[in-house]
Structure 1
């Protein structure tokens, strides 16, 4: 190397993307719930089958939970996903405008969830909108609350829903009603995304 030449500097790596506000508030609520139950991270790991390190990162908002992980946490805390997300809302209201409805995404599985019903922790019924991208396949090993009554109305695309031992192949306009006691699976075979409205009623 010639005298006076500077060695090339490495290109700095881009900073990690900051978590969105929903992720931060959700992380705070999850940490508080564990404290309220008097559980350590190890206790919660045993109850959910989620590793201690993953739980710790979730509670610090370093990662966003997948739909499957969030379902396990909801089951441990005896909450539906909608109730948990409602608990992180800033100002619950009787009316929520379309552009103010909370949207949560599971990028890993290709699932987008929009809370249609105005958030409230005491509601027994709620409506959500779900969108699964083509090829998305989500499995839940147990319901967040056993015996949940669900009405799934498919609006666009095609959707295969497995509840218990039965698999149902839905087309636009079809509505499936079922009580959820065990494992379930949602699969979008494509070629279009599956968009549906899901009505959930607590037992």
Structure 2
């Protein structure tokens, strides 16, 4: 096997097949555009993101469905929140004051059992956004860095139980509990129990 080919140990690919859905296809194209806008080679992006060239190449070609961990690293490099990146793959439209449930974008990380609904997506005139997160039983989601340093987060558990680790401290949250913090380093979200967890995440740019 050539050194640039994907191996089974690669933690940033979920092994998705060659036929991505429409969202994955648009996301792949946007990732390729972002790198091209900066004039970076795959090797340069690999150095900046600490993700292998093969995984980056497959993600840009739509051969894999990116995991949340991979998107988080790329968001950090490109200076975007995940909601902003995902919003960029949708057709441009004028902002509206009411976003109906049927119009809220949903993205799924099938590898980790994480579903993300953009309840109130980012907008250039606003500093905050609102996200609903769902973790399947046993899901364990780790981010090695925030997409934007100093990002303010408010995590309100709606159903189930959640363990959130930040600054090397684990916070165990039950339904109704809220954790608020500024994110500078690694974070980890774990679903506790066997019923899944649902939470609201308010994100405010620094």
TM-score normalised by the chain length of structure 2: 0.87
Q: Which residue number in structure 2 is paired with residue 18 of structure 1?
A: 19
Cα distance, 1:18 vs structure 2: 3.0
TM-score normalised by the chain length of structure 1: 0.89
CA distance in 2, matches of 1:37, 1:113: 28
Q: Which residue number in structure 2 is paired with residue 51 of structure 1?
A: 52
The superposition leaves residues 5-63 of structure 1 with CA deviations (integer Å, 9 ceiling, x where unpaired) of: xxxxxxxxxxx573222111111111000011110000001111111111111011111
Cα distance, 1:73 vs structure 2: 0.4
CA distance in 1, matches of 2:45, 2:18: 28
Contact 1:139 1:185 in 2 (8 A): yes
SS of alignment partner, residue 188 of structure 1: strand
Q: Which residue number in structure 2 is paired with residue 69 of structure 1?
A: 70
CA distance in 1, matches of 2:125, 2:80: 11
Unaligned runs of 5+ in 1: 1-15
Unaligned runs of 5+ in 2: 1-16
The superposition leaves residues 138-163 of structure 1 with CA deviations (integer Å, 9 ceiling, x where unpaired) of: 11111000000000110000000001
Q: Which residue number in structure 2 is paired with residue 108 of structure 1?
A: 111
Q: Which residue number in structure 2 is paired with residue 4 of structure 1?
A: none
Match of 2:123 among 120, 125, 128: 120
Larger-gyration structure (1/2): 1
Q: Which residue number in structure 2 is paired with residue 9 of structure 1?
A: none
Q: Which residue number in structure 1 is paired with residue 144 of structure 2?
A: 141
Cα distance, 1:118 vs structure 2: 4.1
Q: What count of residue pairs does the alignment treat as equivalent?
A: 188
Cα distance, 1:96 vs structure 2: 2.4
Contact 1:160 1:188 in 2 (8 A): yes
